Protein backbone atom coordinates (compact mmCIF):
# COMPACT_ATOMS: atom_id res chain seq x y z
CA UNK A 1 0.00 0.00 0.00
CA UNK A 2 1.20 3.49 -0.71
CA UNK A 3 0.05 6.58 1.11
CA UNK A 4 2.51 9.36 1.83
CA UNK A 5 2.12 10.28 5.48
CA UNK A 6 4.62 13.07 6.01
CA UNK A 7 2.29 16.04 5.52
CA UNK A 8 -0.47 14.84 7.78
CA UNK A 9 2.08 13.44 10.17
CA UNK A 10 3.79 16.76 10.85
CA UNK A 11 0.49 18.48 11.52
CA UNK A 12 -0.84 15.78 13.82
CA UNK A 13 2.46 15.19 15.56
CA UNK A 14 2.59 18.82 16.61
CA UNK A 15 -0.73 18.50 18.42
CA UNK A 16 0.20 15.24 20.15
CA UNK A 17 3.79 16.03 21.11
CA UNK A 18 3.02 16.96 24.72
CA UNK A 19 1.12 13.74 25.35
CA UNK A 20 3.28 11.32 23.41
CA UNK A 21 6.72 12.94 23.24
CA UNK A 22 8.28 11.11 26.15
CA UNK A 23 7.23 7.72 24.87
CA UNK A 24 8.32 8.35 21.31
CA UNK A 25 11.66 9.89 22.20
CA UNK A 26 12.41 6.80 24.25
CA UNK A 27 11.83 4.62 21.22
CA UNK A 28 14.38 6.54 19.17
CA UNK A 29 16.96 5.42 21.67
CA UNK A 30 15.76 1.83 21.62
CA UNK A 31 16.45 1.38 17.94
CA UNK A 32 20.06 2.33 18.56
CA UNK A 33 20.70 0.91 22.02
CA UNK A 34 18.52 -2.20 22.13
CA UNK A 35 15.54 -3.63 23.93
CA UNK A 36 16.75 -2.93 27.46
CA UNK A 37 16.32 0.79 26.88
CA UNK A 38 12.97 0.13 25.26
CA UNK A 39 11.64 -1.59 28.33
CA UNK A 40 12.71 1.23 30.57
CA UNK A 41 11.23 3.90 28.32
CA UNK A 42 8.00 1.96 27.95
CA UNK A 43 7.40 1.18 31.59
CA UNK A 44 5.79 4.49 32.49
CA UNK A 45 3.08 4.01 29.86
CA UNK A 46 1.94 0.53 30.81
CA UNK A 47 -1.09 1.56 32.85
CA UNK A 48 -2.32 3.98 30.19
CA UNK A 49 -1.98 1.38 27.48
CA UNK A 50 -3.96 -1.19 29.44
CA UNK A 51 -6.69 1.38 30.03
CA UNK A 52 -7.00 2.21 26.34
CA UNK A 53 -7.00 -1.48 25.42
CA UNK A 54 -9.79 -2.14 27.89
CA UNK A 55 -11.82 0.60 26.29
CA UNK A 56 -11.34 -0.83 22.81
CA UNK A 57 -12.66 -4.18 23.98
CA UNK A 58 -16.04 -2.48 24.33
CA UNK A 59 -16.22 -1.73 20.59
CA UNK A 60 -19.69 -2.13 19.20
CA UNK A 61 -20.52 -5.53 17.68
CA UNK A 62 -19.54 -5.71 14.03
CA UNK A 63 -17.09 -2.80 14.22
CA UNK A 64 -14.17 -3.32 11.84
CA UNK A 65 -10.78 -4.33 13.16
CA UNK A 66 -8.34 -1.42 13.14
CA UNK A 67 -4.88 -1.94 11.62
CA UNK A 68 -2.17 0.66 12.22
CA UNK A 69 -0.69 1.21 8.75
CA UNK A 70 3.11 0.98 8.95
CA UNK A 71 2.51 1.48 12.65
CA UNK A 72 0.69 4.62 13.74
CA UNK A 73 2.34 6.38 10.82
CA UNK A 74 0.51 9.70 11.14
CA UNK A 75 2.26 10.21 14.47
CA UNK A 76 5.70 8.63 14.05
CA UNK A 77 7.97 7.67 11.13
CA UNK A 78 6.42 4.82 9.16
CA UNK A 79 7.60 1.24 9.61
CA UNK A 80 9.82 2.16 12.57
CA UNK A 81 9.72 0.90 16.12
CA UNK A 82 8.57 4.36 17.19
CA UNK A 83 5.45 3.92 15.04
CA UNK A 84 4.84 0.47 16.51
CA UNK A 85 5.12 1.85 20.03
CA UNK A 86 2.77 4.71 19.22
CA UNK A 87 0.17 2.23 17.99
CA UNK A 88 0.65 0.31 21.22
CA UNK A 89 0.20 3.50 23.27
CA UNK A 90 -3.08 4.10 21.44
CA UNK A 91 -4.27 0.60 22.32
CA UNK A 92 -4.10 -0.74 18.76
CA UNK A 93 -3.49 -4.47 18.61
CA UNK A 94 -2.81 -4.91 14.88
CA UNK A 95 0.08 -3.26 13.05
CA UNK A 96 0.89 -3.47 9.34
CA UNK A 97 4.38 -3.45 7.90
CA UNK A 98 6.37 -4.03 4.69
CA UNK A 99 9.37 -6.29 4.24
CA UNK A 100 12.07 -6.33 1.56
CA UNK A 101 15.50 -7.88 1.07
CA UNK A 102 18.72 -5.98 1.61
CA UNK A 103 21.66 -6.70 -0.70
CA UNK A 104 22.83 -9.46 1.65
CA UNK A 105 19.31 -10.90 1.86
CA UNK A 106 18.42 -9.64 5.31
CA UNK A 107 14.75 -8.77 5.69
CA UNK A 108 14.31 -5.08 6.47
CA UNK A 109 11.10 -3.22 7.25
CA UNK A 110 10.64 -0.43 4.74
CA UNK A 111 7.94 0.48 2.23
CA UNK A 112 9.50 2.10 -0.85
CA UNK A 113 11.83 0.05 -3.03
CA UNK A 114 14.33 2.90 -2.70
CA UNK A 115 15.51 4.61 0.46
CA UNK A 116 15.26 8.25 -0.64
CA UNK A 117 11.93 9.33 0.80
CA UNK A 118 12.24 8.07 4.36
CA UNK A 119 15.98 8.13 5.09
CA UNK A 120 19.05 10.31 4.62
CA UNK A 121 20.60 7.83 2.20
CA UNK A 122 21.42 10.52 -0.38
CA UNK A 123 23.58 12.32 2.18
CA UNK A 124 25.25 9.23 3.63
CA UNK A 125 25.84 7.51 0.29
CA UNK A 126 25.77 10.31 -2.32
CA UNK A 127 27.30 8.19 -5.09
CA UNK A 128 24.91 5.22 -4.84
CA UNK A 129 21.94 6.39 -6.95
CA UNK A 130 19.17 5.25 -7.40
CA UNK A 131 19.49 4.15 -3.75
CA UNK A 132 17.44 0.96 -4.14
CA UNK A 133 16.93 -1.09 -0.99
CA UNK A 134 18.29 -4.17 -2.76
CA UNK A 135 21.62 -2.43 -3.43
CA UNK A 136 22.51 -1.81 0.23
CA UNK A 137 23.59 -4.28 2.89
CA UNK A 138 21.72 -4.50 6.15
CA UNK A 139 24.69 -2.90 7.92
CA UNK A 140 24.60 0.04 5.52
CA UNK A 141 20.85 0.47 5.94
CA UNK A 142 21.31 0.39 9.71
CA UNK A 143 23.46 3.53 9.46
CA UNK A 144 20.64 5.60 7.97
CA UNK A 145 18.47 8.11 9.79
CA UNK A 146 14.88 7.08 9.17
CA UNK A 147 13.26 9.67 11.43
CA UNK A 148 14.48 13.19 10.69
CA UNK A 149 12.39 13.44 7.50
CA UNK A 150 9.32 13.13 9.70
CA UNK A 151 10.35 15.49 12.49
CA UNK A 152 13.47 16.52 14.40
CA UNK A 153 12.31 14.70 17.53
CA UNK A 154 12.78 11.43 15.65
CA UNK A 155 16.36 12.07 14.54
CA UNK A 156 18.42 8.90 14.78
CA UNK A 157 15.51 6.51 14.35
CA UNK A 158 16.61 3.47 12.34
CA UNK A 159 15.16 1.17 9.71
CA UNK A 160 14.45 -2.02 11.66
CA UNK A 161 15.17 -5.51 10.48
CA UNK A 162 12.26 -7.94 10.57
CA UNK A 163 13.96 -9.59 13.54
CA UNK A 164 13.96 -6.33 15.49
CA UNK A 165 10.40 -5.56 14.46
CA UNK A 166 9.12 -8.95 15.60
CA UNK A 167 10.88 -8.53 18.95
CA UNK A 168 9.12 -5.22 19.49
CA UNK A 169 5.61 -6.29 18.59
CA UNK A 170 6.05 -9.46 20.64
CA UNK A 171 7.03 -7.34 23.61
CA UNK A 172 3.99 -5.14 23.01
CA UNK A 173 1.70 -8.18 22.61
CA UNK A 174 0.63 -6.86 19.21
CA UNK A 175 -0.48 -8.69 16.07
CA UNK A 176 1.02 -8.46 12.60
CA UNK A 177 -0.33 -7.87 9.11
CA UNK A 178 2.88 -8.40 7.13
CA UNK A 179 3.18 -7.30 3.52
CA UNK A 180 5.75 -8.89 1.23
CA UNK A 181 6.75 -5.87 -0.84
CA UNK A 182 7.53 -6.14 -4.56
CA UNK A 183 8.19 -9.91 -4.50
CA UNK A 184 8.95 -9.89 -8.20
CA UNK A 185 12.34 -8.29 -7.51
CA UNK A 186 13.16 -10.46 -4.49
CA UNK A 187 13.27 -14.16 -5.47
CA UNK A 188 12.87 -16.40 -2.45
CA UNK A 189 11.54 -13.71 -0.13
CA UNK A 190 8.52 -15.80 0.81
CA UNK A 191 10.64 -18.68 2.05
CA UNK A 192 12.97 -16.39 3.99
CA UNK A 193 10.08 -14.48 5.54
CA UNK A 194 8.58 -17.73 6.78
CA UNK A 195 11.99 -18.87 8.03
CA UNK A 196 12.46 -15.73 10.11
CA UNK A 197 8.92 -15.91 11.43
CA UNK A 198 9.48 -19.52 12.43
CA UNK A 199 12.79 -18.81 14.12
CA UNK A 200 11.20 -15.99 16.14
CA UNK A 201 8.32 -18.20 17.28
CA UNK A 202 5.69 -16.61 15.05
CA UNK A 203 4.61 -19.80 13.34
CA UNK A 204 3.45 -21.62 16.44
CA UNK A 205 -0.23 -22.42 16.86
CA UNK A 206 -1.13 -19.29 18.83
CA UNK A 207 0.56 -16.81 16.50
CA UNK A 208 -0.73 -18.48 13.34
CA UNK A 209 -4.27 -18.70 14.63
CA UNK A 210 -4.58 -15.30 16.29
CA UNK A 211 -1.75 -12.91 15.51
CA UNK A 212 -0.44 -13.20 11.95
CA UNK A 213 -1.60 -12.45 8.40
CA UNK A 214 0.74 -12.35 5.38
CA UNK A 215 -0.37 -10.34 2.35
CA UNK A 216 1.01 -9.08 -0.95
CA UNK A 217 0.01 -7.41 -4.19
CA UNK A 218 1.68 -10.36 -5.92
CA UNK A 219 -0.80 -13.20 -6.37
CA UNK A 220 2.02 -15.67 -6.99
CA UNK A 221 3.68 -14.56 -3.77
CA UNK A 222 0.52 -15.15 -1.76
CA UNK A 223 0.18 -18.56 -3.44
CA UNK A 224 3.75 -19.45 -2.45
CA UNK A 225 3.12 -18.56 1.18
CA UNK A 226 -0.05 -20.65 1.16
CA UNK A 227 1.75 -23.60 -0.44
CA UNK A 228 4.72 -23.46 1.93
CA UNK A 229 2.64 -22.89 5.07
CA UNK A 230 -0.99 -23.79 4.41
CA UNK A 231 -1.90 -22.99 8.02
CA UNK A 232 -0.98 -19.29 7.72
CA UNK A 233 -3.73 -16.75 7.03
CA UNK A 234 -3.08 -14.94 3.74
CA UNK A 235 -4.43 -11.85 2.03
CA UNK A 236 -4.35 -10.58 -1.53
CA UNK A 237 -3.88 -6.83 -1.88
CA UNK A 238 -6.06 -5.49 -4.66
CA UNK A 239 -9.58 -5.47 -6.04
CA UNK A 240 -10.10 -8.48 -8.31
CA UNK A 241 -13.13 -8.54 -10.57
CA UNK A 242 -16.07 -10.28 -8.91
CA UNK A 243 -15.98 -13.03 -11.53
CA UNK A 244 -12.36 -13.75 -10.66
CA UNK A 245 -12.79 -13.88 -6.89
CA UNK A 246 -13.13 -17.69 -6.68
CA UNK A 247 -9.62 -18.15 -8.08
CA UNK A 248 -8.18 -15.90 -5.34
CA UNK A 249 -10.23 -17.68 -2.68
CA UNK A 250 -8.27 -20.85 -3.46
CA UNK A 251 -5.13 -19.43 -1.81
CA UNK A 252 -6.31 -16.37 0.14
CA UNK A 253 -8.36 -15.78 3.26
CA UNK A 254 -8.69 -12.05 2.68
CA UNK A 255 -9.21 -9.65 -0.21
CA UNK A 256 -7.66 -6.34 0.85
CA UNK A 257 -8.51 -3.50 -1.56
CA UNK A 258 -8.20 0.28 -1.59
CA UNK A 259 -11.29 1.90 -0.10
CA UNK A 260 -11.64 3.96 -3.30
CA UNK A 261 -12.28 0.80 -5.31
CA UNK A 262 -15.06 -0.87 -3.32
CA UNK A 263 -18.75 -0.64 -2.53
CA UNK A 264 -21.19 -2.47 -0.29
CA UNK A 265 -22.03 -4.75 -3.22
CA UNK A 266 -18.38 -5.65 -3.73
CA UNK A 267 -17.91 -6.49 -0.04
CA UNK A 268 -21.04 -8.64 -0.16
CA UNK A 269 -19.65 -10.49 -3.19
CA UNK A 270 -16.40 -11.21 -1.35
CA UNK A 271 -18.23 -12.35 1.77
CA UNK A 272 -20.30 -14.78 -0.28
CA UNK A 273 -17.20 -16.91 -0.86
CA UNK A 274 -15.12 -19.09 1.43
CA UNK A 275 -11.39 -18.61 1.48
CA UNK A 276 -8.48 -21.02 1.60
CA UNK A 277 -9.30 -22.18 5.12
CA UNK A 278 -12.99 -22.73 4.49
CA UNK A 279 -14.14 -19.59 6.27
CA UNK A 280 -15.85 -16.51 4.86
CA UNK A 281 -13.49 -14.36 2.82
CA UNK A 282 -12.72 -11.17 4.73
CA UNK A 283 -12.18 -7.62 3.48
CA UNK A 284 -9.62 -5.27 5.02
CA UNK A 285 -9.51 -1.96 3.18
CA UNK A 286 -6.85 0.76 3.00
CA UNK A 287 -5.85 3.56 3.62
CA UNK A 288 -8.64 5.39 5.49
CA UNK A 289 -7.56 8.35 7.62
CA UNK A 290 -10.59 10.55 8.41
CA UNK A 291 -13.81 10.01 10.34
CA UNK A 292 -16.24 10.56 7.48
CA UNK A 293 -14.51 8.09 5.16
CA UNK A 294 -14.12 5.61 8.00
CA UNK A 295 -17.84 5.71 8.80
CA UNK A 296 -18.76 5.36 5.13
CA UNK A 297 -16.37 2.47 4.59
CA UNK A 298 -17.50 0.69 7.74
CA UNK A 299 -21.01 0.98 6.35
CA UNK A 300 -19.95 -1.19 3.42
CA UNK A 301 -19.53 -4.05 5.88
CA UNK A 302 -15.74 -4.37 5.71
CA UNK A 303 -14.04 -6.55 8.31
CA UNK A 304 -11.06 -4.29 8.87
CA UNK A 305 -9.73 -0.80 8.12
CA UNK A 306 -6.04 -0.09 7.61
CA UNK A 307 -5.18 3.46 8.61
CA UNK A 308 -2.40 5.89 9.45
CA UNK A 309 -4.65 7.43 12.13
CA UNK A 310 -5.99 4.43 14.05
CA UNK A 311 -7.39 6.49 16.90
CA UNK A 312 -9.45 8.61 14.49
CA UNK A 313 -10.86 5.58 12.68
CA UNK A 314 -11.58 3.78 15.93
CA UNK A 315 -13.55 6.75 17.19
CA UNK A 316 -15.58 6.88 13.98
CA UNK A 317 -16.36 3.16 13.81
CA UNK A 318 -16.16 1.68 17.30
Supply the residues annotated as catalytic: 69, 111
The helix (H) or strand (E) run that includes residue 100 is strand 94-101
Strand partners, 155: none
Name 87's Cβ contacts closer than 8 Å, sequence gap at least 6: 68, 71, 72, 95, 174, 310
Tell me if 174 sits within 8 A of 87, measured CB to CB: yes
Tell me if 220 sits within 8 A of 183, measured CB to CB: yes
Name 308's Cβ contacts closer than 8 Å, sequence gap at least 6: 3, 5, 8, 9, 68, 69, 70, 72, 73, 74, 287, 289
Name 301's Cβ contacts closer than 8 Å, sequence gap at least 6: 264, 267, 268, 271, 283
Amino acid sequence: MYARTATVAVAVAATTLMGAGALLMSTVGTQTTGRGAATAGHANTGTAIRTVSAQTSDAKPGAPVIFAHRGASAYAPENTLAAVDKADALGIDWVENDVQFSKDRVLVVVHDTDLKRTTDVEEVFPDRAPWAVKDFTAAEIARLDAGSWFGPQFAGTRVPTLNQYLDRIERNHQKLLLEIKSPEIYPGIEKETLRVLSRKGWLDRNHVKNRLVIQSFGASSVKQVHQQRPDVTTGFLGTPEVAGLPSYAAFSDQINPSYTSISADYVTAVHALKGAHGKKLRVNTWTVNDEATAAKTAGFGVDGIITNTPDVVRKATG
